[in-house]
Structure formats: C-alpha cells, structure tokens
C-alpha cells in the first residue's frame, strides 16, 4: 500500500493515535492547518467549570449500594442470600429511609458533609438488558428505539466549539475540549463530526508521556508507516504541549489508594484541573459490575466482589475530592457516576443479580445541591425474578440539569443537545447560571400527588393527580420498568385531574403510575388482578 493511501484510508480528518507516545492519544489533523485557520462561529460560553463522568461498566446493583431501609423487610425477602444486614448499613444524616453499603465510608462522609446528591431510580422508558445497546443509549442520550451516532457530551461541546477540529487549537481555545482516561473513545464524547476528546488509554502511560518516553517502532513496513504518521502528528502536538505544561505546574498531590485503577485516573484529572486546563469534560471508567454470581461472600454479605467494587469507587472519589480541596480547585468540579443499567430486585441462586433497569446515581462536589432526590424505590412484598425497579427520573434529565445548572447552557442549545426538553432536577449550584425555580422539588415529600382507585383493579382504574401547573406527564410502567402507556404529556393549569387507565390486553401483576410536574415526581404502585 502506498503511504498516501495508507494515511487516507486509515485516518479520518482527526484521528486518535493510541501508539504515538506509549499509549497516549493525540490528534493529528489532515487538510487545512488548524494552527492558521481562524476560529469559526461564535465564541464559546466562558466557564472554568469541570464535569467528571465516572462509568461503572457492567450494570451496578443499585439496591445493595443505596439500601432502601424504609422497605427493608421486603428488600431482605427479595434477596436473602445477598442482602446487607440492617445493622451493618451506613446511616446518612437527615434521613432514616436510606443508607449506604458498608464499604462506602468515603461516600457516607461526603454525604454528611453536604457534598453528595443521591438521585434515586434513574433509568430509561424502555430498558434494554443488553450491555452494548444499553451503553449506547446512555452515551448517546437517545430514545430506546433510535440509534444515534453522536453523544450527549459531544453534542454539548459541538455547540460550544463549532467546526471542531478546524481552527483548533487556537489562542482562544488552546486546551483539549475533553479528556478520556482508561478506555477506548466513548460515544458520549462523539461530536457532530468526530470524537471531541483526547484519550489516555492507560494511566501509567501518562507519566511516560510527561517524560517523553515513546514506544519502539517495529522494523516492518507497517512500522515505517507508523513512524511517518508520528512525524505528521508531531506537527500538531499543541494539545500535548499544553497538557505537559499543565501537569508540570503541579508537583505535589494528596494521597490516593494504591492498586485502585479508578483512583489513578482521578489523580490525573485533579492534576490537570489544578494545572489550569480549561478542559470541560473528563471521562474515566471502572469495570467489573456485571455481578451475576459471587457478588457477596456466602458467609458474610458485607464482603465479596461487589463490596470491593463499591469500596474502590468510594475510596477513589473521596481521595479525589480531598485532593481537589487541597489543591484549591474543589469549587470547579462536579462528578457524576452512571452505569448502563441496574440489577433485578430478586437475587439469583448464584449469590448474584441479573440485568435490571433503574438504579441510583451519585452527583458529588462542593457545589452540588446535597441530599436525596426522589423516593426510596418501592419493593413489593412478593417479587418474581422478572421484577424491576421502576424509574423515577429519566437519565437524560440528569444530563440536561447539569448542562443548564453547571455549564449555563441556554434553553435553545439545551434542546439541540438533548434533542427535546427534559425535566430539570436541582443538582448543581452555579451563581453564573442564575437557575431558579428548582427548589420546589421539596414539595411532595409528604404529599400524595398521584393516586388511583380502585386498587387493586381488574381491567381499568382511575388515576387522579394534582399539578401545580405547567408541563405535566403521567405514564404507566409494567413490572419490568417499561413504559406501557403515556396517559398525558402536556401543559396544565393548576388543579386536580383524573384520567382513566384501561389495561385491556395487559397481564396481571404490579404496575406503576409515574407522575412528573416540573422538578416534582412521584411513582405509585398499582396491582392488576383477575
């Protein structure tokens, strides 16, 4: 193959080169030089805020991570062989309804210090139990039935930095837009044209990169082509240079746990944030959460593989937060954990859990709105192997809320990024964004905003809801967590309204009525009988 054909066929307009410097990725651009091109489009919204995305790969068991103590009896009956003993859970200030897994002492401390928000039962309207498809949905923020080739964070960066990569880096935007550590390029960071992130495939290679260590080029025809690509890439190493410069500014950091892959990734993030990079989005990954078997120790359910995973997550985040505080940049960072799905309510016979639907998410940082968002997931007294946690919050509401409240994305751009409007949830505090009207989520804590009669019902039941006015959504979900019917989705004047739900053709079992009114939501269980 001729060299020009190799480059043309193997490299897109902007390409990640994982072998350029011992696993550290840089962008090499072909076509017009980005150094001399002027930045096209409007300047991006100025912000020094950072969002750190932590992917828990495999599908995390949210019920053993955030334990619904108020329904402990039903929780225990559903998973006796893996349930955490009630006297071992970690209590949280201000609530007796919710607790954490005993391995998450660091997250307990952050919650009690007002630096953690726990969002209950986050999911999608029609859950997929395939790792690959579910991950694509979470990364792209698509509807379950559609396939998108761009990611939600990539679309955000695309609105802020139009025409990327043409014209970048430049004097106004010299830093990488996003950085991903420890995984292949993610769909979440895929923009309109290309992936918006630089990639560090191995945290250890980051330090070789700083020292200028390069991989050896093999003495083969392909090795010669690789050497040629490196020569081209060397002409566009601006991002590499600014990363080196930022890292060089930080000579001392806080302590992180050893043998903790996630902690090593977060340590790099803290260093680069302190070093002054204006990179807005970092993404890190930790795996092993597909706990079909041996999730716990058969003699002590507080230890085992899931405990190791949760303790590792908790210790890494706590060390990261302490480091940010010590470095004086804690005000700039908010982090978010997510997994492609949760696990089933009922455990299996192998001391594990199978693929499920909704699960809690952690939003952490000095400027989060702390506390518990939503209600403890309802667990029926009798649970089958197919029963799932119904979602209270659409996962895209979490993304949309952080984009608006942390990055000050305006309503027009937000709809472009998220493809339609989603419920706002109070998660972040950024005075520059001027977000108001979100504190009404506390309304409904003791109120019954949605009811149905009769319950149980045979074929039809009347669902009554009370809205404060504005956009109101009422959906019915089945036991698998799927939306089977949308009863209303429109703007109302304040008042009490009643709708009829006819379940003709649907099997008997537990159903859920989900009410959403602005930042308020409630989920009510309903039972269909013969």
Q: Is the pLDDT of residue 422 over 60?
A: yes
How far apart (Å, rounded) are the C-alpha atoms in residues 145 and 149? 14
How far apart (Å, rounded) are the C-alpha atoms in residues 387 and 363? 27
Helix (H, G, I), strand (E, B) or coil at 353: coil
Averaged pLDDT, 351-368: 97
Q: Which of 15-19, 52-56, 526-530 shows the lowest per-residue confidence on average (mean pLDDT)? A: 15-19
Averaged pLDDT, 299-326: 98
Q: Is the pLDDT of residue 75 over 60?
A: yes
Question: 327: closest CA among 240, 267, 387?
Answer: 267
pLDDT band of 378, cuts 50, 70, 90: confident
Contact, 351 vs 113, CB < 8 A?
no
pLDDT band of 65, cuts 50, 70, 90: very high
Helices 261-274 and 203-210: angle between axes, nearest 10 degrees:
40
Its pTM stands at 0.84
How far apart (Å, rounded) are the C-alpha atoms in residues 54 and 281? 11
Burial (Cβ within 10 Å: 0-12, 13-18, ≥19) of residue 120: buried
pLDDT of residue 392: 94
Averaged pLDDT, 93-120: 97
pLDDT of residue 32: 32
What domains does the chain contain, in order, with CATH numbers? 15-44+127-286 (no CATH), 450-528 (2.60.40.1930)
pLDDT of residue 247: 94
Q: Is the pLDDT of residue 298 over 80?
A: yes
The predicted-structure confidence for 508-528, as pLDDT tens digits, reads as follows 999 999 999 987 888 999 999
pLDDT of residue 441: 44
Q: Is the pLDDT of residue 33 over 80?
A: no
Averaged pLDDT, 475-502: 93
Q: Is the pLDDT of residue 529 over 70?
A: yes
- Average predicted confidence (pLDDT) for the chain: 86
Averaged pLDDT, 174-179: 92
Name the CA dihedral angle for 473, 476, 481, 483, rounded to a multiple of 10 degrees. Answer: -70
Q: Is the pLDDT of residue 293 over 70?
A: yes
pLDDT band of 230, cuts 50, 70, 90: low
pLDDT of residue 521: 84
pLDDT of residue 198: 86
pLDDT band of 225, cuts 50, 70, 90: low
Q: Where are the beta strands (DSSP E) in 349-459?
A: 359-365, 371-373, 393-394, 450-453
Contact, 269 vs 282, CB < 8 A?
yes
User: Which of the pair, 118 or 433, is modelled with greater confidence?
Assistant: 118
Q: Which of 101-110, 240-249, 262-271, 289-298 shows the lowest per-residue confidence on average (mean pLDDT)? A: 240-249
pLDDT band of 218, cuts 50, 70, 90: low
User: Which of the pair, 249 or 44, is modelled with greater confidence?
Assistant: 249
Q: Which of 40-49, 159-168, 182-191, 275-284 shows the lowest per-residue confidence on average (mean pLDDT)? A: 40-49
Q: Is the pLDDT of residue 205 over 90?
A: no
Q: Is the pLDDT of residue 170 over 80?
A: yes
pLDDT of residue 235: 32
Q: Which of 141-150, 178-187, 408-417, 486-495 shows the lowest per-residue confidence on average (mean pLDDT)? A: 178-187
The predicted-structure confidence for 430-478, as pLDDT tens digits, reads as follows 999 975 445 544 444 467 899 999 999 999 999 999 999 998 999 999 9
- What size, in residues, is the chain? 530
């Amino acid at each position: 193959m001729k060299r020009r054909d190799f480059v043309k066929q193997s490299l897109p307009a902007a390409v990640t080169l994982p072998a350029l410097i011992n696993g550290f990725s840089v962008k090499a651009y072909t076509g017009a030089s980005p150094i001399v091109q002027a930045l096209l489009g409007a300047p991006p919204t100025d912000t020094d805020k950072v969002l750190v995305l932590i992917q828990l790969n495999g599908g995390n068991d949210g019920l053993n991570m955030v334990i619904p103590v108020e329904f402990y009896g039903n929780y225990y009956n559903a998973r006796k062989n893996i349930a955490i003993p009630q006297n071992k859970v970690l209590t949280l200030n201000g609530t007796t309804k919710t607790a954490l897994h005993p391995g998450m002492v660091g997250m307990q401390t952050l919650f009690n210090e007002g630096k953690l928000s726990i969002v209950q039962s986050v999911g999608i309207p029609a859950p997929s139990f395939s790792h690959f498809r579910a991950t694509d949905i979470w990364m792209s923020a698509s509807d379950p039935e559609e396939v998108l080739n761009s990611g939600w964070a990539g679309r955000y960066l695309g609105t802020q930095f139009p025409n990327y990569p043409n014209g970048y880096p430049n004097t106004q935007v010299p830093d990488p837009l996003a950085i991903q550590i420890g995984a292949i390029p993610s769909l979440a960071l895929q923009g309109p044209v290309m992936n918006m992130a630089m990639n560090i495939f191995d945290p250890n290679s980051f330090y070789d990169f700083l020292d200028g260590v390069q991989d050896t080029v093999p003495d083969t025809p392909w090795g010669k082509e690789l050497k040629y690509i490196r020569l081209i890439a060397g002409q566009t190493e601006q991002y590499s240079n600014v990363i080196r410069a930022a890292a060089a500014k930080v000579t001392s950091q806080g302590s992180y746990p050893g043998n903790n892959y996630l902690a090593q990734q977060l340590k790099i993030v803290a260093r680069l944030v302190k070093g002054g990079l204006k990179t807005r989005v970092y993404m890190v990954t930790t795996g092993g959460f597909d706990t079909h078997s041996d999730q716990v120790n058969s003699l002590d359910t507080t230890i085992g593989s899931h405990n190791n995973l949760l303790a590792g997550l908790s210790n890494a985040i706590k060390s990261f937060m302490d480091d940010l505080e010590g470095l004086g940049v804690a005000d700039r960072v908010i982090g978010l954990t997510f997994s492609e799905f949760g696990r089933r309510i009922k455990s299996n016979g192998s001391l594990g859990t199978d693929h499920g639907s909704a699960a809690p998410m952690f939003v952490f940082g000095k400027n989060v709105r702390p506390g518990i968002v939503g209600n403890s997931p309802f667990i029926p007294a009798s649970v089958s192997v197919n029963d799932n946690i119904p979602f209270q919050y659409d996962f895209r509401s979490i993304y949309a809320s952080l984009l608006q409240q942390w990055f000050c994305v305006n309503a027009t751009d937000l709809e472009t990024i998220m493809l339609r409007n989603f419920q706002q949830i109070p998660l972040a505090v950024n005075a520059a964004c001027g977000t108001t009207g979100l504190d009404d989520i506390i309304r409904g804590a003791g109120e019954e905003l949605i009811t149905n009669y009769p319950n149980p019902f045979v074929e039809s039941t009347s669902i009554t809801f009370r809205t404060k006015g504005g956009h109101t959504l009422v959906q019915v979900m089945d036991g698998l967590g799927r939306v089977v019917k949308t009863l209303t989705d429109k703007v109302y004047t304040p008042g009490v309204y009643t709708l009829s739900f006819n379940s003709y053709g649907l099997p008997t079992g537990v159903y859920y009525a989900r009410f959403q009114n602005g930042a308020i939501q409630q989920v009510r269980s309903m039972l269909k009988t013969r």
